[in-house]
Amino acid sequence: AILLHMTDGIIAFDKDGNIMIINPVAKELLNIENEKNFDQIFEKLDVEINKEAIMYLENWTSLEQKINIGEKNINIYFAPYKDENNLSSGVIAVVQDITEHVKLDNMRKEFVADVSHELKTPITSIIGYADTLQEGEYDRATQEKFLSVISSEGRRMADLVSDLLTLSRYDTNRVTGNITEFDLGELAKKCQEKLEIEIEKKHQEVECYVTADVPPIKADKNGIERVILNVLSNAVKYTPENGNIKIYVGFVYNDAYIKVIDNGIGIPKEDLGRVFERFYRVDKARSREMGGTGLGLSIAKEIIEQNKGSIDIKSEYGKGTEVVIRIPALKKEEEK
């Protein structure tokens, strides 16, 4: 029963490599049916494997073999087993599906590569401009131009590092957040005011509609404010001058929601599913130019999920984008 219901596959081979026991999971993971012994299995899998090294494993050793079967990554762990006289009498193979693990590991590697790349770009220009300034005599105007590049690239690095720190704090659940009761409509208006300068610069029209019956929500107010600011500033960033942005705050099925709709550049279909990924940007060069780190929406997702809410994005390329954030509202009896 144990073997039958385990999530790991188990195969026991005798000294000659014949299968003594195999559980259903092992058959399924390795995609095998009637194979009787070691050679048949690995022939079917088309994997070169050193049978001698495995069959004559020393008592205290073990061996691992990673193989790919279709889309799956499988790890087989071989260890010798002994009979009652302490003599080695065969090998046990534990078969595990490590697809998820491999995926996570690749994501981690990609993340490190992305971070290094994102930091390297500004560092290269800072060093470049600083060296140039040191080497030559430049007039005041040129010096100022170089210094302003150095300063803005430095600031970009600072933003990036600060976003990375935020992300890592949320990742490791180190943000306990100050959970308070507040009104989503008021917060939305406050965020709009905070972005007034950017909005005016682009001559955009931003309207905020709050339906009257939105109950208060109990959540990490600073976190939610950060998310709204990010979503709204994306709407401002990715909407051309004279564009329209609408904010709706309302209540549906026990959730308070905030919807930000813009009539900006939109997001192509093929990119839409990936905008919540770390460092994913539809147009890398342009987003960077606008001061984007590519981390905003991934941080937003972390924060919203920790507050038991959801964040979704809809968009039509060239037409506009709609982001909806939902957060569970307090039921009437929960209100003070």
Interaction site with ligand ADP (CB under 6 A): 230, 234-235, 238, 262, 264-267, 275, 280-283, 287, 292-298, 321
Contact call for residues 51 and 68 (beta carbons, < 8 A): no
Of the pair 75, 233, the CB lying nearest ligand ADP is at 233
H or E element in which residue 13 lies = strand 9-14
Nearest distance from residue 37's CB to ligand ADP, in Å?
Answer: 53
Nearest distance from residue 165's CB to ligand ADP, in Å?
Answer: 16
Count of Cβ atoms closer than 10 Å to residue 247 Cβ:
23
Nearest distance from residue 173's CB to ligand ADP, in Å?
Answer: 21
H or E element in which residue 104 lies = helix 99-135
Burial of 72 (0-12, 13-18, 19+ CB in 10 A): middle
Nearest distance from residue 315's CB to ligand ADP, in Å?
Answer: 6
Of the pair 142, 242, the CB lying nearest ligand ADP is at 242
For residues 87 and 330, what is the distance between their CA atoms, to the nearest angstrom? 66
Of the pair 73, 230, the CB lying nearest ligand ADP is at 230
42 is written with which tokens? 């690995």
Nearest distance from residue 198's CB to ligand ADP, in Å?
Answer: 13
For residues 313 and 260, what is the distance between their CA atoms, to the nearest angstrom? 10
β-strand partners of 154:
none
Of the pair 204, 287, the CB lying nearest ligand ADP is at 287
Of the pair 27, 202, the CB lying nearest ligand ADP is at 202
Backbone φ and ψ for 173, nearest 5 degrees, come out as 55, 35
Produce one character per residue of 27-47: b if its CB has 16 or more CB atoms within 10 Å, e if not: bebbebeebeebeebbeebeb
Nearest distance from residue 286's CB to ligand ADP, in Å?
Answer: 8
User: In terms of DSSP bridges, do strands 244-252 and 205-210 run parallel, antiparallel, or are they unpaired?
Assistant: parallel
Of the pair 223, 294, the CB lying nearest ligand ADP is at 294
Nearest distance from residue 313's CB to ligand ADP, in Å?
Answer: 7
249 is written with which tokens? 């705050």
**Exposure on the CB side of residue 33, measured as CA atoms within 13 A:** 0
Of the pair 184, 265, the CB lying nearest ligand ADP is at 265
